[in-house]
Amino acid sequence: MKRRANIGLKIICLNRKARFNYFLHEVIEAGIVLKGSEIKSIRQGKVNIAESYAIEKNGEIFLINSHIPVYKEASYSNHNPVDERKLLLSKKEINKLIGKINMEGFSLVPTRMYFKKGKAKLEIAIAKGKKHYDKRHTKKTRDWNREKARYFRKSS
């Protein structure tokens, strides 16, 4: 029996460093407010969210430092590549996120961007930063699992 993964999702970009640099506690899906030239550039798959993060301003959540390059075919109405973009969340979710950020020292880190039923969505995680020794431990276990897999492949 074949397993079908995420019907209707087209992943645009991933933030692989997020899992290495942070402990991810909870993941939330959010929409993004975009301009026409931004969505066309996203459809070309030229997005970078590796260094981006989300913050709270005036009771709303904004995505900072995400890079969506300029769409060449757009004329005078092009966008700024590194602009703040508002995330679309319900008021209940926003209050929950603001409480976690302020009280417990968590951060909001985007993990991936994708299309769901034709709409651009962003998956943000409530995350806590890893210390240097935690990163070393993660790397060590990953290397050990890789060596173990090689050993079992050779032996069988």
| CATH at 88 | 2.40.280.10
* Position 56 in a domain: yes
* Position 25 in a domain: yes
pLDDT tens per residue across span 127-144: 998 888 888 998 999 999
* Position 26 in a domain: yes
* Position 80 in a domain: yes
Which residues of the chain register pLDDT less than 70? 1-7
- pTM score, two decimals? 0.81
* Position 66 in a domain: yes
145 contact partners, CB below 8 Å, separation of at least 6? none
Q: What is the span of the domain harbouring residue 44?
A: 9-130
pLDDT tens per residue across span 61-87: 999 999 989 888 877 778 888 889 999
How many domains would you assign to the chain? 1
